[in-house]
Amino acid sequence: MIDISVSSLVKSFELGKNILDGLSFTVNTGERVGILGHNGCGKTTLFRILVGELHPDEGEVMVAPGKRLGLISQIPVYPEGTTTEDVLKEAHRHLYRIQDRLSDLSVEMEHDDSPALLQEYDRLSEDFRRLGGYEMDVERNRVANGLDIPPRMREQLFDSLSGGEKTRVNLARLILEDTDILLLDEPTNHLDLHATEWLEDYLLHFKGTVLAISHDRYFLDRVVQRSIEISEGKAEFYAGNYSFYVEERQHRFEEKLKQYEKDQAKIEQLQRAAEQMHLWAFMGNDKLHKRAFSMEKRIEKLSHSERPREERRLNVKFKQRSFEGDEVLILDGVSKAFGEKQLFSDLTATITGGERVALIGDNGAGKSTLVKLIMGQETPDCGYLALGPAIRTAYLPQQVRFSSDSRSALDTMLYDARCQPQEARDRLAAFGFRGEDVLTPVSALSGGERSRLCLCILMGRDINFLILDEPTNHLDIASREWMEDALSDFEQTLLFVSHDRYLIEKFATRIWYLNGGTLTDFRGGYADFVAWRERQQLLQQNEKSRVKEQEREKKTPAERRPREKNTARALQKIEKDIARLESAIAALQAEAEANAADYQKLMEIEAHRAPLDEELLQLYEQWEELNE
């Protein structure tokens, strides 16, 4: 069954320039599809058309009847003064409307007992029960707790939240809406590794349809089943995830290039033959003109094919200063707190020349603070940090700033990189700033463009220790690959903070995992680290079970008998209490069904049932503990 059908879609924002130019595709129920393409190709425009925020100039979009679409956008926008709780409650807005109408009807029926009012009340009461109105508060709490949205955050204004917090809240809203089709526009932006892994697991078990725009290649590999690339306003189809797309795209390029070269060779051959035919025709055989004209028509058809173009790659390298020595960075007993919040304490580690260290951890763990300590922008509360005497650092922060935002990209290069105009233009061109782009004021650049400009400046410096804080944030896939090309040739020491698992796996030879105020130092790549962490968790579980078993075996039979008797008595009591509560809850459920048309009575029953449900859950947990 088809959930989404897009046919001959055309959309332009500039006269004569179509961002979507005849885009057509279908998505079947339950598919997970990645939408790929360079920045500005129309991916977000497509999503806005799908949800009705924009209207196409031509073509049509069909969504299966009864299917609900939900969009996680890059920048969720809500009215000023909206709290996080208001956003979560948006998921149940239709239930709140029913609830308000039921309250109005209750007041009206005190003075008017007409059958029409009673019928409307009965119908709405049944809708409220069927759609989960009595469970919506419990469900909202469950999802909020699962996505780490605590009560304090729920009271905050939504606009005051960080990017990652906004993404989590918006995701919670969509889950609560029980959406059939999820449209995800950069869902992992600002998410830490833990939250990203949670989202991936949720999507892998999601029964509905998913369309995802993402620059997170690891995420695309794990989640999507097929890929659609938007290129020159049209759709190219790939029957697999991102890694399949990369290989298949290169294969198609090579096939097109072979066909183009074959056509050019054929054109050259036909041109020579046609010229010879015309020559012979002038020598007395007029019939050969017709054959020459026929060849020229074939040449004209073949000449319409264009040479396939490959995306321009980064063609610059970091300037490097050779490093003589062993120690690049030393941490010894480093601690840092802000007020009562202790970020980390007693961090001790050493980085030596040529190592590539990925600093990872959840948001708020203190990764960026540790980098600022290394750069001397913050001071440790105790302990010390030291760089080797011959170390020359370059630093790309999360929030890129320049000496003046009013200068153009070209002027910024001239002032900050201290290079000649032609060198500045050449280096900017290598980073995608060409033509009039170099005259754009820095203040008008996007986050990704600012990062590219900063990198362009850094790459001209003589360095042997490169520090990057979330270097791929805001970068599209092409820009990420540009950066990876440059880093591949950088042979000196690298320390980088990142949630980009593709980047971590490609470059890290060592993992620093900052969690709970301590630093785990793992020598190996990201995949090895994940496998090691899973083994550690399993060992910890086994150790807990072993300790419990040892404690039990240490006791003499005489000591164990009272315990076993007490356990048996406790189990019997809990089982009786469980049976009693289950019976009481069943009775309340039967009473609710008998009074399905009485809104006030149903509210009273739900108020009685909620504490019983909570008590029953606690008894189940106690029963499990005693049976271990």
Give the tens place of pLDDT for each residue, 209-262: 999 999 899 999 999 999 999 988 999 999 999 999 999 999 998 898 888 888
Between CA 208 and CA 218, with CA 214 as vertex, the angle to 5 degrees is 90
How buried is 385 (Cβ within 10 angstroms: 0-12 exposed, 13-18 middle, 19+ buried)? middle
Region for residue 6 given its phi and psi (left: phi exceeds 0; alpha: psi -120 to 50; beta: otherwise): beta
pLDDT tens readout for residues 126-173:
888 888 888 888 888 888 887 778 889 999 999 888 777 887 888 888
Q: What is the DSSP string of 55-110?
A: --SEEEEEE-TTPPEEEE-SS----TT-BHHHHHHGGGHHHHHHHHHHHHHHHHHT
pLDDT above 80: residue 73: no
What pLDDT, on a 0 to 100 scale, did the predictor assign at position 461? 79
pLDDT above 90: residue 383: yes
- Nearest residue to 529 via CA among 543, 507, 509: 509
What pLDDT, on a 0 to 100 scale, did the predictor assign at position 600? 61
What pLDDT, on a 0 to 100 scale, did the predictor assign at position 358? 96
* Interatomic CA distance for residues 35 and 25, integer angstroms: 11
What pLDDT, on a 0 to 100 scale, did the predictor assign at position 175? 82
What pLDDT, on a 0 to 100 scale, did the predictor assign at position 76? 66
* Interatomic CA distance for residues 375 and 393, integer angstroms: 9
Dihedral Cα 451, 499, 39, 424, nearest 10 deg: 20
Q: Residue 220 in 3-state DSSP?
A: helix
What pLDDT, on a 0 to 100 scale, did the predictor assign at position 487? 83
> Residue 171 in contact with residue 73, Cβ under 8 Å?
no
Least confident of 43-52, 141-150, 614-623: 614-623
Percent pLDDT > 70 in the chain is: 90
What pLDDT, on a 0 to 100 scale, did the predictor assign at position 378? 92
* Interatomic CA distance for residues 77 and 90, integer angstroms: 13
- Of residues 97 and 306, more confidently modeled: 97
Work out the pLDDT band at 598, boundaries 50, 70, 90. Answer: low
Give the per-residue SS3 of 537-594.
HHHHHHHHHHHHHHHHHHCCHHHHHHHHHHHHHHHHHHHHHHHHHHHHHHHHHHHHHH
CA distances (Å), origin 282, targets 36, 271, 285, 308, 620: 57, 17, 7, 39, 102
* Interatomic CA distance for residues 391 and 400, integer angstroms: 23
What pLDDT, on a 0 to 100 scale, did the predictor assign at position 317? 62
- Of residues 370 and 178, more confidently modeled: 370
> Residue 47 in contact with residue 19, Cβ under 8 Å?
no
What pLDDT, on a 0 to 100 scale, did the predictor assign at position 23? 94
- Of residues 122 and 608, more confidently modeled: 122
pLDDT above 70: residue 312: no
* Interatomic CA distance for residues 582 and 478, integer angstroms: 58
Which element (helix H / strand E) includes 16?
Answer: none
Between CA 453 and CA 459, with CA 454 as vertex, the angle to 5 degrees is 100
- Of residues 498 and 295, more confidently modeled: 498
- Mean pLDDT over residues 408-415, rounded? 90
CA distances (Å), origin 67, targets 141, 428, 437: 25, 47, 43
**Amino acid making up residue 72:** I
- Mean pLDDT over residues 337-362, rounded? 92
pLDDT above 80: residue 346: yes
pLDDT above 70: residue 339: yes
Give the per-residue SS3 of 444-481.
HCCHHHHHHHHHHHHCCCCECEEEEECCCCCCCHHHHH
Least confident of 92-101, 196-205, 469-478: 469-478
**Tokens matching residue 314:** 């980064």
**Tokens matching residue 363:** 């948001």
pLDDT above 90: residue 390: no
* Interatomic CA distance for residues 106 and 602, integer angstroms: 13
Rg of the chain on CA atoms, in Å: 32
Between CA 398 and CA 13, with CA 46 as vertex, the angle to 5 degrees is 90
Strand 465-469 relative to strand 493-497, pairing = parallel
Least confident of 12-16, 308-312, 567-571: 308-312
How buried is 569 (Cβ within 10 angstroms: 0-12 exposed, 13-18 middle, 19+ buried)? exposed
pLDDT above 60: residue 48: yes
Work out the pLDDT band at 32, boundaries 50, 70, 90. Answer: very high
> Residue 409 in contact with residue 442, Cβ under 8 Å?
yes
pLDDT above 70: residue 320: no
- Nearest residue to 37 via CA among 234, 310, 309: 234
**Average pLDDT of every residue of the chain:** 84
* Interatomic CA distance for residues 484 and 235, integer angstroms: 27
pLDDT above 60: residue 389: yes
pLDDT above 60: residue 565: no
Percent pLDDT > 90 in the chain is: 31
Output DSSP code: residue 305. Answer: P
What pLDDT, on a 0 to 100 scale, did the predictor assign at position 106? 83
Highest mean pLDDT among 194-203, 345-354, 560-569: 345-354
Least confident of 104-118, 330-344, 535-549, 604-618: 604-618
- Nearest residue to 338 via CA among 374, 371, 378, 376: 378
Least confident of 134-138, 161-165, 436-440, 554-558: 554-558
* Interatomic CA distance for residues 175 and 450, integer angstroms: 34
Strand 465-469 relative to strand 393-396, pairing = parallel
What is the pTM for the complete model shown? 0.71
Tell me the helix, strand and coil percentages in the chain, rounded to 5: 50, 20, 30
Which element (helix H / strand E) includes 117?
Answer: helix 115-130
Output DSSP code: residue 158. Answer: G
What pLDDT, on a 0 to 100 scale, did the predictor assign at position 228? 96
- Of residues 18 and 628, more confidently modeled: 18
What pLDDT, on a 0 to 100 scale, did the predictor assign at position 321? 66
What pLDDT, on a 0 to 100 scale, did the predictor assign at position 593? 67
What pLDDT, on a 0 to 100 scale, did the predictor assign at position 555? 60
pLDDT above 90: residue 35: yes
What pLDDT, on a 0 to 100 scale, did the predictor assign at position 369? 93
What pLDDT, on a 0 to 100 scale, did the predictor assign at position 511? 95
